[in-house]
Amino acid sequence: MSLSLESQVGVALDDLFPSGTRTGTARVRATSCATDWREVQPGDVYVALPEGCGTTPCDDGHQHAQRAVSCGAKAVICEQPVPVFDVPTYLVPDSRVALGELCQALVGNPTHSLPTIGVTGTAGKTTTLALLEAIFLTSGRTCGVLSNLTSYDGMSVGSGISEAPSAPALASRLANMAAADCPLALLEVSSQSLSQAGMAGIQLDAICVTNITDAHLDLHNSIQNYRNAKLRILKHLAPTGVTILNADDPVCMQWLDRVQGPVLTYGLGDQAEITGSIIETHANEQTFVLTAGSESTAVRTAIIGEHHVSNCLAAAAVALSYGIDLTTIAAGIEAVEKLPARMERIDRGQGFPVYIDAAETPVALCASLRTARQLAGERVICVLGDMSFASAAETNSISQVVHRLADIAIATQHLPNAHGQKSAEVKVIADRSEAIAWAVAIAKPGDVVVVTGSQPRSSCSFGTSGEQVNDAEIARKFLITCTPPALRIAA
């Protein structure tokens, strides 16, 4: 990966890394950088990344420092001494952090002038960002957005970003937002990005934390490591920035002592400053009362579930901190009629509701199935996502949730038996299309079907030989096949 800067003024590395150990000539000015020695152009600064952070998982960029110099690198930034004597080297504590700081500096540190809101948490990040985007748009501000669902940098709209976008990619997108005079930037921040220093050099005007549960142990190895990774987002908060915390989440509340600066809390409980109370829930909508201090307003949303109301409160709390009134906030929330794979309702005239949801962790799955349980007059039928990458502990937790809240589950593998609790009927079907087809075929009025573990995909993939059909399209297809035509009376 590489990043170039058109301006020839550049960035003085001695000023950017004053505590780094330098060898060779001082006052090197960087105008571009690269992390792959094969992409180095004359005049680039080469950033040597540690093993696992390069172009291949086992590649260590320090081993290629001399090759980078041979290709024209005028300086090397590294976190281990390298046998380079022809050009200056800068030894830094973490070259990933140095890369992020350099990339942001090369594009003029856009987040120092562009108010940037970072949203993190185990679940709800993408939805909260979508709600925030709608609220700000309703208030007359078109924001730049980088989320798992979509991206808009003030110049072009694209698909969502990865869990850990590269430092050059982030710098480029944020620079575009600043150049396009976006009033705000909305940024989804994952634990992977934080643990890999992907946010280095970025300053956040506001931070919103949706929740911190036990997840991504395959990446972080322990619950504490995961929580520590999430906590790193506080290091990016501007001195005058505000932090929005979920008062219903005990881990979030433990952060209160760590936050420097103003804090605003939200939640469904009475202890929060921004609260919500669900009035009624139906298969196609729910209504809740949003309250902030002495003011309140009713909000009707087409996306159902208590967890969605929590996301609405998170977005409302952020919007309130930017001076947006409750009426505008409610209108913005109501403008979001559906989101791909976020309790997305599929209606083709069938006599039972079908939802497509991204839930794949035990906590998210519990939230989705609890909502289905509240709506179901008869059975809850759940199609589970791919669990082949889940650990034994995660599989057991998922199994407990499914057996407790579902009546019928269709999985890709056998689930552990339930002990001392209600046991769901489990059917193993490896093919996802077949699993969805079977679920809607057996459903009857009074049942609720939830297809979980769904990942939004485009209906076709450019440059591939075949189409990628998402779960919503599969469900629509089989519902049309299974649903008898409605009686039409012509005058």
Would you identify the CATH topology of the domain 2-104?
3.40.1390
2-104 and 110-335 share one fold? no
Going from N- to C-terminal start, the domains of the chain cover: 2-104, 110-335, 344-482
pTM here is 0.90
Alpha-carbon distance of 165 to 78, in angstroms, equals: 21
Q: Which of 160-164, 215-219, 232-236, 292-296 has the lowest mean pLDDT?
A: 215-219
- Could you name the CATH architecture of 344-482? Alpha-Beta Complex (3.90)
Over residues 305-352, the pLDDT tens digits come to: 999 999 999 999 999 999 999 999 999 999 999 999 999 999 998 999
Model pLDDT, residue 13? 96
Alpha-carbon distance of 301 to 306, in angstroms, equals: 11
Tokens representing residue 121 in the block: 């948490």
Please say whether the beta carbons of 369 and 424 come within 8 A.
no
- Could you name the CATH architecture of 110-335? 3-Layer(aba) Sandwich (3.40)
Tokens representing residue 264 in the block: 């605003």
Dihedral angle sign, alpha carbons of residues 121, 126, 129, 131:
negative
Q: How confident is the model at residue 52 (pLDDT cuts 50, 70, 90)?
A: low
Longest dimension (CA), the chain: 90
Averaged pLDDT for residues 423-440: 92
Task: Please provide residue 112's backbone torsions phi and psi, each rounded to the nearest 5 degrees.
Answer: -75, -20
